Structure 1
Amino acid sequence: MKRQRLEEAEVWARLGALPGWERHDDGRSIVRSLKFRDFSEAFAFMTRTAMQAEKLDHHPEWSNVWSRVDITLSTHSAGGLTELDFELAAFINAIAGPAD
């Protein structure tokens, strides 16, 4: 059940394995800001992430201003964080590189 809301202990354990991510919105979401060299690099990152999001059928809330991408992950239908959020966050970390 990837769309089942995770218990608090599981959220904290998974978050500890994801450098750069923080809890937000009363614990119902996780957020990360990424900085790239330029717009093209940021857009390429977003394209790769979008392809993975489609495969998971789980889509981020995000914004892009030139070289910065701000991301929020949450499973709204579950009212909080699920395995899907952490799976997509791990993918993002793998392609974006280490947290600043």
Structure 2
Amino acid sequence: MTQSQLGRPTKLDKEAIAASLAGLPGWTLRADGTAIVKGFRFKDFNEAFGFMTRVALLADRIDHHPEWFNVYNRVDVVLNTHDAGGVTSLDIQMALFMEQAAG
């Protein structure tokens, strides 16, 4: 994967995104092609909040923060890299982690 001059990942093309999403059940490319999205459902608010807390720790560590919305047991997630203008390896990394954290 190529990196920008600042060491940040560059925008993935549609083929690379599709290949990555093949291993991420339930994740889809948003209609405008600039983000990947998924809705998570948990048993209750406590589980949803625990998931968000685990993800927040990673987000802070890698300095890449999700856009998300939480109501009770639902967490809807949008991942993209604003600096790159689309989906990058950071978004895929975050999605993979979210899948593990939701497990």
Identical aligned residues as a percent: 48
Q: Specify which structure has the bigger relative contact order, considering alpha-carbon pairs within 8 angstroms and separated by 6 or more residues.
A: 1
In 1: Cα distance, 2:93 partner to 2:86 partner: 14
TM-score (norm 2): 0.89
Q: Which residue of the partner structure matches residue 91 of structure 1?
A: 97
Q: Does 1:11 align with 2:17?
A: yes
Give the residue type in structure 1 aligned to 2:54. R
1:40 aligns with 2:46: yes
1:13-28 equivalence runs, <5 A = 13-28=19-34
Q: Distance in 1 between matches of 2:27 and 2:13?
A: 18
Displacement of 1:3: 2.2
Note the aligned Cα RMSD (angstroms): 1.0
Unaligned runs of 5+ in 2: none
The count of corresponding residues between Structure 1 and Structure 2 is: 97
One-letter identity of the residue aligned with 2:14: E
- Per the alignment, residue 76 of structure 2 pairs with 70
Using structure 1 for the length normalisation, give the TM-score: 0.92
Q: What is the alpha-carbon distance in structure 2 between the residues aligned to residue 74 and residue 13 of structure 1?
A: 16
Give the secondary structure class of the aligned counterpart of 1:78. coil
Relative to total residues, which structure has the larger helix share, 1 or 2? 1
Q: Partner letter of residue 73 of structure 2?
A: S
